[in-house]
Chain A
Amino acid sequence: MSNLQESGPLLSVRDVAKFYGARVGCRDVSFDLWPGEVMGIVGESGSGKTTLLNCLAGQLTPDHGEVLFDTRTDGLKDTVRMSEPERRMLRRTDWAFVHQHAHEGLRMNVSAGGNVGERLMAVGARNYGQIREEALDWLGRVEISGERIDDRPSAFSGGMRQRLQIARNLVTGPRLVFMDEPTGGLDVSVQARLLDLLRGLVREMGLSAIIVTHDLAVVRLLADRLMVMKGGEVVEAGLTDQVLDDPQHGYTQLLVSSVLQV
């Protein structure tokens, strides 16, 4: 975290807004994400957090605002207005997107190795042996046994699928990972293992990440900074511990106090 000042922000979001007809998806969202930083976005269902994430990741086109990404070649560049080939290139190299449901992010009829190898082949890898080696390495890193490399994800459990999805996304060494409820739908012990794994990978690879979730425990564990959304707007932002320990906005207070205690 010491070299933050030397380089500029990795992602710079300016006044992003998305409307669905007269309804607000999200609006007036601005923030900077620095290299190596993990940002959490929390809020209730319908608060616009997934809309915002999709706008940032180029899956939706915002109606207003800029999303500047620090590209390797041209420096900060507006991803909303860049050409589609360029944006799709980013999506399979420097960006990664982890879906809530692993089956949306995986090819269910392609083996685990093929799933991990796809991004490598998409950027031009043409050596079977090397692709397979890389796939084995990544399966190991997400704690999937190497002998499952030729099994299809449909034969995997929910937690394994989610880990496979992560391996598939991280194999090309992205710099920014978007995660949409990465632990949603998993039971608590599997969640804990996945979070542990994610935290390790994020730290080890120096990834920047934006994590959308409604689970405050997830952001407490993973996120450096936190944004709280309600009705399409950011109502509170700050360091994770600060926001969670001393919530200022009424809605954040409600959110924090609604967490069930065991």
Chain B
Amino acid sequence: MDGQDQAYNFAYLDEQTKRMIRRAILKGLAVPGYQVPFASREMPMPYGWGTGGVQVSAAVMVPEDRFKVIDQGADDTTNAVSIRKFFEKTAGVAVTERTGEATVIQTRHRIPEEELGEGQVLVYQVPIPEPLRFLEPSEVETRKMHALEEYGLMHVKLYEDIARHGAISTAYAYPVKVEGRYVMDPSPIPKFDNPKMEMAAVQLFGAGREQRIYALPPYTKVVSLDFEDHPFDPSKADHPCDLCGAEDSYLDEVIVDDAGGRMFVCSDTDYCGTRQANGHRGALAAEDAA
């Protein structure tokens, strides 16, 4: 804990709060996909910036951890940088940008491309934990629907998508069914990432404003909802990465000039950088890059 600012308890939150959050996490792990209420604390950042994820990270973090934060896949965006600095200062933990080396990864809107292993924890920042929220405004009713497994309404949303757009147009926060029981909002990750949720790492979801925590234990069965004649399609931009040439990673479209020029690049910066360091080149990569 050297270098830690002693004005704070380890990882900012007091021990009683962490205990309360750990209890919620354990309950969430015991009932995968179930939204556990918890007494979310005020954090020194605005709601919507990952207050839920930060509290979950703080509760699971130990001094030996190596911490990574990504925002839309990138390590170097404002949100990621400020949260990483926050824990460097308040917990004194080591930080990294390497997915494979991290023990705790806090993420906003992406799952890293590199496969996560046992012993790693993936913490999601969740804006709206209730998958049925925009269909059924009453919290009393949605809780009852979860309790009684009444999920027909979720398919009404997918039906509406097909009726209006000819295909299921929900591209992120795509609803999943966990272990054949709870329907869960996977947070706004692209549906491309949905199949990755059956993984070896522990996945924890924290929603600070909505005061909910839910979780997926390792190797939990996660099925994306669909219709028999409109099966789930984890689509991505049909293009290789212009920097590293990867064909299998999720891409961001970047506008490069005002004449319609654009390029597609991996949203996972660590994945893209590692590939470039290993000599992979995309169509628009600078010759002297990496």
B156 touches A110 (CB 8 A): yes
Cβ-neighbour of A126 out of B135, B160, B162, B227 (below 8 A): B227
B229 within 8 A of A: yes
Q: A122-B150, A126-B155 are in contact. Are A114 and B163 (CB under 8 A)?
A: yes
Shortest Cβ distance from A126 into chain B, in angstroms?
5
A123 within 8 A of B: yes
Task: Count residues of A near B (Cβ-Cβ below 8 Å).
Answer: 24
User: In residues 218-265 of chain B, which contact A (Cβ within 8 Å)?
Assistant: 227-230
B45 within 8 A of A: no
A84 touches B148 (CB 8 A): yes
Q: Which DSSP category, helix, strand, loop or mixed, fits chain A's interface? A: helix
A129 within 8 A of B: yes
Q: Kindly name the residue among B156, B227, B229 whose own CB sees the greatest number of chain A CB atoms within 10 A.
A: B156
A128 touches B230 (CB 8 A): yes
A127 touches B160 (CB 8 A): no
Shortest Cβ distance from B168 into chain A, in angstroms?
9
A114 touches B229 (CB 8 A): no
Q: Which DSSP category, helix, strand, loop or mixed, fits chain B's interface? A: helix
Chain A residues in 8 Å Cβ range of B160: 110-111, 114
A199 within 8 A of B: no
Chain B residues in 8 Å Cβ range of A127: 227-229
CA distance A107 to B135 in the complex (A): 9
Residue ranges of B at the interface with A (Cβ–Cβ < 8 Å): 135, 148, 150, 152-153, 155-156, 159-160, 162-164, 227-230
A-B contact pairs, 16 of them (CB 8 A): A85-B148, A88-B150, A113-B159, A114-B160, A114-B163, A117-B159, A118-B156, A121-B152, A121-B155, A121-B156, A123-B152, A126-B228, A127-B227, A128-B229, A149-B163, A150-B163
Apart from A121-B152, A121-B153, 5 more pairs, CB < 8 Å: A88-B150, A92-B152, A119-B152, A128-B229, A128-B230
